[in-house]
Amino acid sequence: MAKSNKLGKEGEMAACDFLITRGFTVRETNWRLGHLEIDIIAQEPSTCKLHIVEVKTRSDVDHYDPSLSITRAKIRNLVNAANGYISHYQLKMAVQYDLMILTGTAPDFHIQFIPNAFQPPLRTIR
């Protein structure tokens, strides 16, 4: 396994552990719809809210802010994948899009959890 793939998998496992210790239920990891993927799909039991969590893991952020990788295209893909998940399981719950940035190396990651990191874009008809 490539070094970056290993770091990414370790980061996703640490992100799941982080959510579980805060009372979330992790429903899915690496859920795919065609070429689209959601890193973590979690549920907050107290509010029955579905959390779509994008995980960015970096060993070093001195030269690059990982949050900059959340582009309009990435948001569109996450929203489309989330809509596919909701449709597939016929869910009727609120959805929130979160970002987790993990820096360092396992097991000593620094975790930054950004709830409600972005909203799905609104489409208008002219």
Structure tokens at 113: 């959890």
Every domain of the chain and the residues it spans: 3-118
Cis peptide before 66 (omega within 30 of 0): no
Query: What are the strands of the beta sheet with 25-33, ordered from one edge?
Result: 25-33, 36-44, 49-58, 95-103, 110-118
Residues 120, 79: contact at Cβ < 8 Å? yes
DSSP structure string for 1-51 = --HHHHHHHHHHHHHHHHHHHTT-EEEEEEEEETTEEEEEEEEETTTTEEE
pLDDT at position 126 is 47
Q: What is the pLDDT of residue 61?
A: 63
pTM: 0.89
pLDDT value, residue 67: 75
Q: How far apart are the first and last CA of the chain?
A: 49
Sign of CA dihedral 7, 102, 56, 19: positive
For residues 66 and 74, give the distance between their C-alpha atoms in angstroms, rounded to a whole number. Answer: 13
d(Cα 78, Cα 99) in Å, to the nearest integer?
11
CATH class, range 3-118: alpha beta
Residue 1: its pLDDT value, please? 62
Residue-level pLDDT, tens digit, the chain, 126 residues:
666 688 889 999 999 999 999 999 999 999 999 999 999 999 988 888 999 999 999 887 666 677 777 888 899 999 999 999 999 999 999 999 999 999 998 888 999 999 999 888 766 444
The pLDDT, as a whole number, for residue 122 is 62
